[in-house]
Amino acid sequence: MHLAFLNPQGNFDPNDSYWTEHPDFGGQLVYVKELALAMAGLGHHVDIVTRRIVDPAWPEFAAPLDGYPGVERVRIVRLPCGGDRFLRKEDLWPHLGTEWVPNVVAFYDTEGQRPDAVTSHYGDGGLSAALWQARGGPPFTFTAHSLGAQKLDRLLLNRENSLASLDAHYHFARRIAAERVAMNHAARVITSTRQERFEQYGHPAYQGAVDPADEAKFAVVPPGVNLRIFDADVHGPDDERIAEYIERILARDVAAGRRRLPAILCSSRLDPKKNHVGLVRAFAHSAELQAAANLLIVVRGVEDIHSREGLTPGERTVLDEIVALCEAYNLWGKISVFSLKSQTELAAAYRHLRARRSVFALTAHYEPFGLAPLEAMAAGLPAVVTRNGGPGESLRDEATGREFGVLVDPTNPADVAAGLLRLVGTDNEWKTFQRAGRERVLTRYTWERTAAGYLAVVEEILARRLPIPPYFLDPRPETDLTFESLAAIWPARA
pLDDT tens track for 159-168: 888 999 999 9
E strand or H helix at 428, and its extent?
none
At residue 23, the pLDDT reads: 67
Q: Which of 79-83, 106-110, 307-311 has the lowest mean pLDDT?
A: 307-311
**Residue 395 confidence (pLDDT):** 95
Residue-by-residue DSSP string for 108-170: HHHHT---SEEEEEHHHHHHHHHHHHHTT---EEEE-SS-HHHHHHHHHTSTT--HHHHHHHH
How far apart are the C-alpha atoms of 156 and 151, rounded to whole Å? Answer: 9
Handedness of CA 14, 188, 452, 448 (dihedral sign): positive
Q: What is the mean pLDDT of residues 329-350?
A: 95
**Percent of the chain, pLDDT > 70?**
95
Q: How many domains does the chain have?
A: 2
The overall average pLDDT reported for the chain is 91
Task: Tell me, yes or no, whether 440 and 476 share the same domain.
Answer: no
Q: Are residues 275 and 391 in the same domain?
A: yes
Distance CA 187, CA 309 (A): 46
Same domain, 183 and 250: no
Q: Does 129 have pLDDT greater than 90? A: yes
Predicted confidence at residue 474, as pLDDT, reads: 47
Please check the confidence at residue 466 and state whether its pLDDT lies above 70.
no
Could you tell me if 238 and 335 lie in one domain?
yes
Helix axes 430-444, 371-378, angle to 10 degrees: 110
Q: Are residues 398 and 456 in the same domain?
A: no
CATH classification of the domain holding 280: 3.40.50.2000
Domain boundary among 428, 444, 460: 444
Supply the DSSP symbol for 261.
S
Question: Are 256 and 160 in the same domain?
Answer: no
Q: How confident is the model at residue 477 (pLDDT cuts 50, 70, 90)?
A: very low
Q: Are the CB atoms for 144 and 109 separated by under 8 Å?
A: no
468: CB partners within 8 A, 6+ apart: 133, 134, 185
Closest CA to 405 of 425, 446, 435, 369: 435
Q: What angle do CA 381, 350, 360 make, to 5 degrees?
A: 45
Residue 97 sits in the same domain as residue 188: yes
Do residues 342 and 350 lie in contact, with contact meaning Cβ atoms separated by under 8 Å?
no
> What contacts 274, CB < 8 A, 6 or more positions away?
268, 362, 363, 364, 365
| CA–CA dist 422, 359 (Å, integer) | 10
Residues 307 and 411 in one domain: yes
pLDDT tens-digit map of 28-47? 788 999 999 999 999 999 99
- Give the tens place of pLDDT for each residue, 191-222: 998 888 998 999 999 998 999 999 999 999 99
| Rounded percentage of the chain residues whose pLDDT exceeds 90 | 74
Residue 475 has pLDDT above 60, yes or no: no
Give pLDDT, residue 309. Answer: 86
Structural domain boundaries, residue 299: 229-444
* 125 touches 148 (CB < 8 A): no
Picking from 271, 282, 221, the residue whose alpha carbon sits closest to that of residue 417 is 282
> Which tens digits make up the pLDDT trace of 55-73?
998 899 999 999 999 999 9
**Does 314 lie in the same domain as 167?**
no
Of 54-58, 402-406, 427-431, least confident by mean pLDDT is 54-58
Are 143 and 278 in the same domain? no
Are 187 and 287 found together in one domain? no
Would the pLDDT of 183 be above 80? yes
Residue 321: pLDDT band (50, 70, 90) is very high
Of 115 and 390, the structure prediction assigns the larger pLDDT to: 115
198 and 303: one domain?
Answer: no
Q: Does residue 448 carry a pLDDT above 80? A: yes
Q: Please give the pLDDT value at position 485.
A: 78
Asked whether the CA dihedral 188, 194, 196, 199 is positive or negative, the reply is: positive
Cβ atoms of 172 and 166 within 8 Å: the answer is: yes
Q: Which residues pair with 335 in a beta bridge?
A: 295
What is the tens place of the pLDDT at every residue in 237-287?
A: 999 999 999 999 999 999 999 999 999 999 988 888 899 999 999 999 999
Amino acid of residue 39: M
